[in-house]
Amino acid sequence: MKYNSARKKYNNIYMRSLTLMFLFFIFSVMILNIIVPNKKFSSQENRNLKSKPKLSADNLLYNKFTSKYEKYIADQFILRNFWINVKSRSEIISGKKENNDVYLGKNKYLIAKFKKPGKEAFDEKVKAINDFSTENKKVNKYIMLVPNKIKVLEDKLPEFAPAENQLEYINKFYSGLDKSIKTINVFDALNKNKNKYIYYKTDHHWTTQGAYYAYLEFCKSSGLTLKDANYYNIKKVSNEFYGTLYSKAGVTNVDSDTINVYLPKKHEDLLVNYVEEKKKSSSLYNSSSLNTKDKYSTFLGGNHPLIKISTMIDSSKKLLVIKDSYANCFIPFLTSHFSDIVVVDLRYYSDNINTLIKDYNITDVLMLYNTNTFFEDESILNISNYE
């Protein structure tokens, strides 16, 4: 009896200790989440983290506040990268072929999932771009939604992996746009060259070769005289690139990627003005990025609110590129066609686009996004005076 009584007492102490430790852990996490400053950028995922949403009538009316706040909490959770890595390792060990919305594909390809857009958000984006078109009738307008690996390289997906048909949503979006906007189909060109190195294995971006095939399609749609591959020297600048999907999936047994740049054999003079940073350069490339984890930011030095590129060529055509990071390795192909190229990333740029078009005497506008980012991010709504 004494033995059972002692054992019961020990068990009670043990359970109370565990409970106190658990409560202390939860309380500590809550306090740390409050006092630790928010982070703006995740180098592991190469993206901006969500900031605390403002409590407004619009957010409450359309039930946006709760959704935004949940994303904010998920992004700013204390030791977030540590918990992501713990989850990743445990799930890979268990044999799962998907982790953190990344498929562990064949031939060591890492493939980001595509999330089906909601109807309301889908329709809002169609309307925003159509409003922009109405507001800017005199400029030539083009849109290029680039399919991701999950569609073009769907043969690399694990067996029985569920995947929404990304191309179906691209075509549906195109069909809802004003007829004055020229839609550019790059799926066929990418699909035709799917066995070439057109997407990085460990990153969500396309390679420079993939961007070149899209450039050819843009030339066809816009009437530009394209530059064939012989116009360029293709230079390998890194073979040690591990991208965003490598970090997100938490894998280790994959090969590094190679980054190539296409340099015109005949030197092209240009001036790159990073307007808000008040910095200028004579190159489209930032070689110092090759010494960092985010080697893709070699192209244009990464993402910036506003860049103005003066190319010194004799042309009356001036281009505005409204884009995400997929455009960063695409834009160098355009410098032989436009006297000025103005580059805007609406995730960071808050001024009026119509004013920008007038101030820079823009003749052509290209909207270039990868499909995953386009349907997940709301910043394209800022393209017009749309409310």
- Tell me what pLDDT residue 386 has: 45
Q: What pLDDT digit, counting tens, does each position of 191-208 carry?
A: 999 999 999 999 999 999
For 148-170, write each residue's pLDDT tens digit: 999 999 999 999 898 899 999 99
The DSSP secondary-structure symbol of 384 reads S
Q: What rounded mean pLDDT belongs to the chain? A: 87
Task: Say which residues have a Cβ less than 8 Å from residue 220's Cβ, sequence separation at least 6.
Answer: 226
Please say whether the beta carbons of 374 and 324 come within 8 A.
yes
Q: Find out whether 114 and 166 touch, Cβ atoms under 8 Å.
A: yes
> Per-residue pLDDT averaged across 59-76, rounded?
60
Per-domain residue ranges for the chain? 2-89, 102-383
H or E, element range at 211: helix 208-222
Q: Indicate whether 303 pLDDT > 60.
A: yes
Burial-class residue 227 by CB neighbours within 10 Å (0-12, 13-18, 19+).
Answer: middle
- Average pLDDT score over residue span 5-28: 70
- The 10s digit of each residue's pLDDT in 112-142 is 999 999 999 999 999 999 999 999 999 999 9
Q: For 223-257, write each residue's pLDDT tens digit.
A: 999 999 999 999 999 999 999 999 888 887 899 99
Mean pLDDT of the region 142-147: 98
Asked if 317 and 337 touch (Cβ cutoff 8 Å), the reply is yes
| 0.85 surpassed by pTM | no
Q: 12 pLDDT band (50/70/90 cuts)?
A: confident
* pLDDT above 80 (res 335): yes
pLDDT surpassing 60 at residue 85: no
